[in-house]
Structures are given as C-alpha cells and as structure tokens.
Amino acid sequence: MGSGANATDSRTAEPIFSIIVPVYNTERTLPACLDSILAQTFADIEVVCVDDGSPDAAADVLATYASRDPRMRVLRQPNAGLSAARNAGMRAACGRYLVFVDSDDTIEPILCERVLQAFESDEAVDAVTFGAVCEPERLASARIRMLLSPADAVYRGFEPALLFSAHAQPYACRVALCASFVRRWGLTFDESLRFAEDVPFLFTVYPLARTTVLISDKLYRYRMQEGSLTHEFNERSSCERKLAQHLDVLGSIFREWGVRGVRPSCAPEMVTWCLDFTLFDIVRASGRCAASSARRLAAMLEHAFGPNWVELPAHPAVRCAARAVAAADGDALRVSRIGLVRFFVATRGLAACIERVLGR
C-alpha cells in the first residue's frame, strides 16, 4: 500500500479482477460509476477506490457503498494526482487482473466477463484492450471515435500497429492488465505528468507485453466534459502550455524505453507520431516558444534515433516537417501552412486535417 494511504479493508484473498478507481471531486458522477462496476455479470471482483484527497463529499459516497458491498475497498491519501492514485491502487490490488475506471465514467456490465474470456484464450496474454464510446458523442472528434474502435486482433509480441494504427491507444482505462505482468516489470504511471499520463504508460505496456488481445466490444463509457482538463488544453490560449506538456510526455516515453531497454523496431513510425503529437501546437506558438520547442523535440529524436532521424519517415511531407523541426526556425514553422496541411493529410487524412484546423 502506498505511503500515506489508509485502507478501510485489509482483505487479502485473491479475486479474479481488481478494478481500480481514482476518486477526486466526483461526488455527482461517482454513484453511477460504482453502480456500473458492482453490476458486473462476473462477480469475483474487488473495487479498489483511491480517494485522492477529494475536497467534496466523495468520501461519504465511498463509505456508503463500502458499507453495502464487501467487495469495495477504500484507500485515502493526500491529493497527489491521477497517476499517484492509480499507482496506489495497483500497489494495493489483490486481483489476478487489473482494470482501471475513472470515477466520472461507467462500464458495461459484461466488461469483466468479456475481458476474462480474452485473458483465458492464451496463457501468455498480458494485456487486453477494448473499445469505448464517448458521452456525449458530440464532444468527441471523428478521430477520437475512430481511435476508440479497435478491430478484433491478437498480437504475439510487439507490433508497431499497437501504438500507431490498431486503435489500441489512447486511454489506459481501455486496457486490462495481468497483475503478474505489472509486477514483473514494475509498471507505474508517471506521477510528474498532469496531462496525457496514459500515453507513456501504454507506450511501455505494448512493447513489453508477451501477447496483447484487442476486442472490438465497446465496454467503456468515457464521460466527456467541456470543462475537463483535456478541453482546457484544447483552447487556443493554452496551446503553449499544452505543447510543453506534450514534450514532457515524449520525454517520459523515451526515459521509460531507456530504463527498460525497450528498442522497438518502429523508428519511422515513432518519428512521424512524435511530429503529429506536437507540430500543430508548435506552429501556433509564438516564435520563441516554437523555436525552443522544436529544438527540444529534435534533441529527443536525435538522442533516440541518431542524427539521421529526419530521413526516417517514408512520406516526403513528413520528412519535410522533420527537417523544419531540426532547423528549429520558429518563424519558418509558423508560416509554412501549405507544408503543415500536407503533413497532416499524410499522417491523418484530409477529413481529420480539416477537422483539426477547425478546432474540433
């Protein structure tokens, strides 16, 4: 159990699933979340709720549910953020498999049943990734809806598609993990990140997993809020702050890969993805911020893939963007609108490019 965390239950029996729920300032949505978890058709679960110093009445909601259902466990800790709460939940979990549910979301009643079938399909399965829907759907871009819709597939070992084309990321709440896999590799969420902390986690999980199963069932319901952190960062006035966070995310990925000796054979795809992850905000930033951000990005990519990283992507428009970043010329990056359009058409397609330009 994490330092500073106190649990209301000392249960040690091993359930099949531990469902980890970080809780912060969600007293209104928490009952629906817990109801959906406790209504699972597969009942051998524990629900590990981590009250991350929530300032509202969430603690009272948790106490009420814990008094009704012995499968509920409640940990409390001073506010330390989403990643720290998830990490505390993983340390305390007793289950064979781990599932993550955010306290303003809900899950389908068959989630555990379907995920268990996938784990039992092969003794080497370390990760199971499933589909999700956004509620309300109007707040989700077409790209996000697509990314949350994987096709049924089995990957034995690592394939670049898991990170770049199979719709297996983003969002860690779509991924169930074998607890022994998590312990074997000491997997944790990066507590220094406030935004997109799921990304380095999944970029570590997929290269390390022996077998990953994707199932097309949409088992998770992600509640989108116009005032959420993600939407806050999508405001134009916040692009430079968002850009700094995205570069921190990339730094976290490369640190994790370095510490764990991960050398996935996906350098061209990774360079393209890193540019896609940052370039739209680099060109919207001020000249000084754009140039410094380009220098930081180029330094990370050169350290990871060598001085020839700019020539790795297959598409000419992507290589052109890579050279502009390597030159770290903020003004040139900002005014190269045609190059930007070509880049995003190459990486996302025309429809997604138009959607992004319109700010959706």
pTM equals 0.89
**Of 266, 126, 129, 154, residue with least CA distance to 210:** 126
pLDDT, tens only, 318-360: 998 898 899 876 555 554 566 777 888 888 776 665 655 555 4
For residue 49, pLDDT over 50 is answered with yes
In degrees and rounded to multiples of 5, residue 158 shows phi and psi of -95, 135
pLDDT, tens only, 287-308: 788 889 999 999 999 999 999 9
For the chain, the structural domain boundaries read 6-229, 266-357
Pairing of strands 106-107, 45-52: unpaired
Pairing of strands 211-223, 6-7: unpaired
Report how far residue 131's alpha carbon sits from residue 142's, in angstroms, rounded to the nearest whole number.
Answer: 15
Three-class SS of residue 17? Answer: strand
Which CATH number does 6-229 carry? Answer: 3.90.550.10
**CA atoms within 13 Å, Cβ hemisphere of 118:** 28
pLDDT number for residue 311: 95
Tokens of 145: 């809806």
Q: Do residues 174 and 214 lie in contact, with contact meaning Cβ atoms separated by under 8 Å?
A: no
pLDDT, tens only, 183-201: 999 999 999 998 899 999 9
